Chains A and B, each alone.
Chain A
Amino acid sequence: MALNLRQKQTECIIRMLNLNQPLKQSGTANEEVYKILIYDKFCQNILSPLIHVKDLRKHGVTLYFLIDKDRKTVRDVPAVYFVQPTQSNIHRIIPDASEALYDTFHLNFSSSIPRPLLEDLASGTLKSGAVEKVSKVYDQYLEFVTLEDNLFSLAQQSMYVQLNDPSAGEKEIEAIIERVANGLFCVLVTLGVVPVIRCPRGGPAEMVASLLDQKLRDHLLSKNNMFSEGGGFMSSFQRPLLCIFDRNFELSVGIQHDFRYRPLVHDVLGLKLNRLNVQGEKGGMKSFELDSSDPFWSANSSLEFPEVAVEIETQLNKYKRDVEEVNKRTGGGSGAEFDGTDLIGNTKHLMNAVNSLPELTERKQVIDKHTNIATALLGQIKERSIDAFTKKESDMMMRGGIDRAELMAALKGKGTKMDKLRFAIMYLISTETINQSEVESVEAALNEAGADTSAFQYVKKIKSLNVSLAASANSASRSNIVDWAEKLYGQSISAVTAGVKNLLSSDQQLAVTRTVEALTEGKPNPEFDSYLLLDPRAPKSSSGGGSHVKGPFREAMVFMIGGGNYVEYGSLQELTQRQLTVKNVIYGATEILTGSELVEQLGVLGKKMGLGGPVASSSSSGH
């Protein structure tokens, strides 16, 4: 049983749309009930990647509105509310109920509604005499956005800034940790599993892990809990492993450029909630959707860009061949004689052709879509020479340094200010010892390019304050080299023959991936033995002691506090293909960030510390 988060969440939403009634085999409710769906902004983000208007119609939803919209009365129709449990939403629901906008109200809250808010709701509806209107109140535990089968985001913005803000108080940090743990708890409830939690000691990761552990324990103690019973005979083999990391664990991945299709689309074109807006040829914006319903996307999104271009070409040729075939069979345009004996066969062919048309048009649409995207990407890559940045950055991470001439060439060459800034930060992270004169010249180059250097300053400061941050990232990439040198050497020959760029970088493993691999294998490893181990099912006294929770894990979940990215997601999905023990890895983050977004957050931190260059306002125009 592979855990499929997207499928699970969709099931939950469909069940909610059917007023939480049990489903029949056919997937539609017993009785056809037409209803109205009301959601808030956050829940719209949850719904929109998962379910289309067509599916909504199929489940009897005739109208769908944002809660803030001015809505009119629709008598005699039940309304399904799917909102976050917040004060403002409650205060929108109460007048709706008292004005009797709809017949009955089915209230679904995206996470557990706290008692005071429930009391608010009760007193509000009681005062206006509309209690009878509220027919059901549910906690749905769906407060996360699932983007792909194994990718979710808690959609909590600028978490990195909030956690690393030097001026943040204890209370604020605790509130943030609480929110993250809540989101994770929702994910676990939806999946219906109690994982074994591991995380590095110290920092936000440990705080989230222990809070989550506490939550799960409390929940498991209550009688009617939402996790499947019979955890006793479940061995560690069937339980997933949840690894929680902090963005500072490996900052470089969030900043570096990448040349694979999915990260590139996300980083350069700004993929958001599986939707992409691309400037069309005639200046109009085109919007595309990229998710698992797109076969090309799911097959090729982890390939490098040049390979994707080749793949598009072959698909296009195949499509053209098929169209020709259909044309030939139906004799369209050839002006063939229309004799009687051929008549029957002809209509048969015509029928077949008509039947094959939908499939062909679908393929055509997919090809068109990706051609458009690839063209837009290529334009950006040429303009900013992203390939050069990618190559040099991965070189830096490998060797732990770079020639001064090459560094300067990159900083003075093509690319936006943001690209240069990211490159400079990568340089800082990769080098072990700060060469003062070199750093100064880098700074001068950045200033010359007009970039906002506060992010750079921040990283420099952090590095000098806390050498271990850089050291850990560095030692990781170092030992990486030793491990993989042999392999790299073997494959670099084929790389040359294949003429594929950047094969080195695609084989370079991220620290997160290596850690997850080691943790799931469960073999003693001095590097990771110090990691905190929490098992919410085990009794409190013996936690950490049981050897049964150390065994190999088939399912793993990785959670990144402070913003994840598609590079890590892709790397973890590769792990499942390469490795035998791990079958499935779910990756999640507080939000999915592009490199420039993360750098902007670093810049905000830099400004808060009173650092930053004179051209502070230019960061927004960098991308």
Chain B
Amino acid sequence: MQAKSSYRDRTDEFFGIVETLRRSIAPAAAANINVAYGGGRREDPRSAAVMQSEFNRRASVIGLAIHQTSQKLSKLAQLAKRSSVFDDPTREIGELTAVIKQEISGLNTALLDLQAVRNSHNDERNISRDTTTHSATVVDDLKNRLMDTTKEFKDVLTLRTENMKIHENRRQRFTNNPSKESTNPFVRQRPLASKPAPSQPAPLPWANGSSSSSSQLVPRRQGEAESSPLLQQSQQQQMVPLQDTYMESRAEALHNVESTIHELSNIFTQLATMVSQQGEIAIRIDQNMEDTLANVEGAQSQLARYLNSISSNRWLMIKIFFVLIAFLMVFLFFVA
């Protein structure tokens, strides 16, 4: 298809007009305008602007980082899709996995930081309501994107595990030799993947204030990290020279239970995100308008009712006043 532009840039024309207009105005007046303009500028609450741009800068940095992470992720996905037995890029995958994991946890903390910045801003009075909404939306958007990236990452890992299992089965079928400890891919992959886990910072104290979607991320990743010691344990059991089939089957069962638990946790997180995603999918921009209209109408009717009640109260007051006066009259007449 041909690359066409169905729009026309008229910025130059606009600035051309501005130039001619500026020249046509007397230079003195123009200078005045400039002075006034500069003065008006100085009155601006500078600090607020600086803080806002701090927020923006951070947001764009996080956005860029998420973008880069997702690019790495797509590379990882390509590697993981390779299913040939012979050139198995286990090492690369392990490294990439570790890097991505680190990045995601780093982004998570950065996002929480950003939210803290936003919250501290909101406490100040001189920030308009629109600004608050804007920054809230930015944070939400970033959160959603990070969420998506994490989900994608998890999918890739699941795919990788499946592939590994298939390999393992194939290898066993052909070699018939239970030399598991040397070839078991989980051993090689897992320790690498779990390396950054200890260095992962504990959830920051203000993490409680964040929305549930982001706070879910942290515990889940810890859960993953915890599962690997379990694996190593089962591995050690196998190293015991007893080539007992019974033991092996026990290990297998344990393994299965572990994977089941893992899958279940996946289901729960998926359900949680599904519920949270329902929200804004189907909203159209004119929906807001109608809601507003309904609200305004409701407010109007409420006001009308209030007016009615007020006016009836007024009548009541006048009546009471009259009764009081009458009493006073009677009182004065009879006593005096």
Q: Which chain A residues have a beta carbon within 8 Å of chain B's beta carbons?
A: 1, 8, 12, 15-16, 20, 31-34, 36, 44-45, 47-48, 51-54, 56-57, 60, 62-64, 66, 71-77, 100, 108, 112-113, 118-119, 121-123, 125-127, 129-131, 134-141, 189-190, 192, 226-228, 273, 275, 287, 289, 340, 343-344, 347-348, 350-351, 354, 357-358
Contact = CB atoms under 8 A, between A and B. Distances in A.
Interface stretch (B197-205, B215-223, B279-287): B279-287
A51 B285 CA distance: 8
11 contacts: A62-B141, A73-B128, A75-B52, A121-B14, A127-B33, A129-B40, A131-B15, A135-B11, A141-B7, A343-B260, A344-B260
Contacts of A108: 7
Interface of B: 1-2, 4-11, 13-15, 17-18, 21-22, 25, 33-34, 36-37, 40, 44, 48-49, 52-53, 56, 59-60, 63-64, 67, 128-131, 133-134, 137-138, 141, 253, 256-257, 259-260, 263-264, 266-267, 270-271, 274, 280-287, 289-290
A84 to B, nearest CB: 15
Contacts of A351: 263, 266-267
Contacts of A53: 280, 283-285
Contact of A1 (B1, B9, B37): B1
Nearest to A224: B8
Contacts of A45: 286
Q: What 10 A-B pairs are tightest by C-beta distance, nearest first?
A: A129-B37, A72-B128, A32-B63, A62-B137, A72-B130, A122-B17, A139-B8, A53-B283, A137-B14, A76-B52
A118 B260 contact: no
A289 to B, nearest CB: 7
Contact of A289 (B4, B129, B284): B284
Contact of A32 (B33, B60, B130, B290): B60
Contacts of A62: 133-134, 137-138, 141
A104 to B, nearest CB: 12
A74 B18 contact: no
A344 B274 CA distance: 24
A52 B260 contact: no
Contacts of B64: 31-32
Contact of B141 (A15, A57, A358): A57
A125 B19 CA distance: 12
Contacts of B282: 52, 289
A36 B285 contact: no
Contacts of B270: 354
A344 B59 contact: no
A63 B4 contact: no
Nearest to B9: A138
A121 B22 CA distance: 13
Given A53-B280, A54-B283, A57-B141, A131 B11 contact: no
A126 B21 contact: yes
A143 B260 CA distance: 56
A16 B290 CA distance: 26
B133 A34 contact: no
A119 B63 CA distance: 39
Contacts of A12: 6-7
Contact of B263 (A54, A123, A347): A347
A127 to B, nearest CB: 7
A13 B21 CA distance: 32
Contacts of B283: 52-54
Given A113-B10, A126-B21, A340 B253 contact: yes
Nearest to B24: A123
A129 B6 contact: no
Nearest to A64: B285
Given A32-B64, A57-B137, A358-B274, 14 more contacts: A44-B289, A62-B134, A62-B141, A118-B10, A122-B21, A129-B33, A137-B13, A139-B10, A141-B6, A190-B6, A344-B259, A347-B260, A350-B263, A351-B266
A71 to B, nearest CB: 6
A346 to B, nearest CB: 8
B130 A63 contact: yes
B181 to A, nearest CB: 24
A45 B277 CA distance: 26
Given A44-B286, A351-B267, A226 B4 contact: yes
B7 A138 contact: yes
A137 B10 contact: yes
B155 to A, nearest CB: 11
A389 B15 CA distance: 61
A20 B7 contact: yes
A125 to B, nearest CB: 8
Given A344-B260, A354-B267, A75 B131 contact: yes
Given A53-B280, A62-B134, A131 B49 contact: no
A51 B283 CA distance: 10
B11 A73 contact: no
Nearest to A277: B290
A112 B285 contact: no
Contact of A122 (B18, B44, B286): B18
A117 to B, nearest CB: 11
A100 B49 CA distance: 12
Contacts of A358: 274
A44 B285 contact: yes
B53 A76 contact: yes
Contacts of B13: 118, 137
A74 B128 contact: yes
Contacts of B289: 44, 66
Given A47-B285, A52-B282, A122 B131 contact: no
Nearest to A193: B4
Contacts of A36: 130, 134
A53 B141 CA distance: 12
Given A73-B131, A347-B260, A48 B1 contact: no
A123 B21 contact: yes
A406 B17 CA distance: 70
Contact of B67 (A32, A64, A75, A350): A32
A53 B281 CA distance: 7
Of A1, A75, A141, most B-chain CB atoms within 10 Å: A75
Contacts of A33: 60
A126 B37 CA distance: 10
A601 B129 CA distance: 45
Contact of A76 (B49, B137, B260): B49
A107 to B, nearest CB: 8
A52 B281 contact: yes
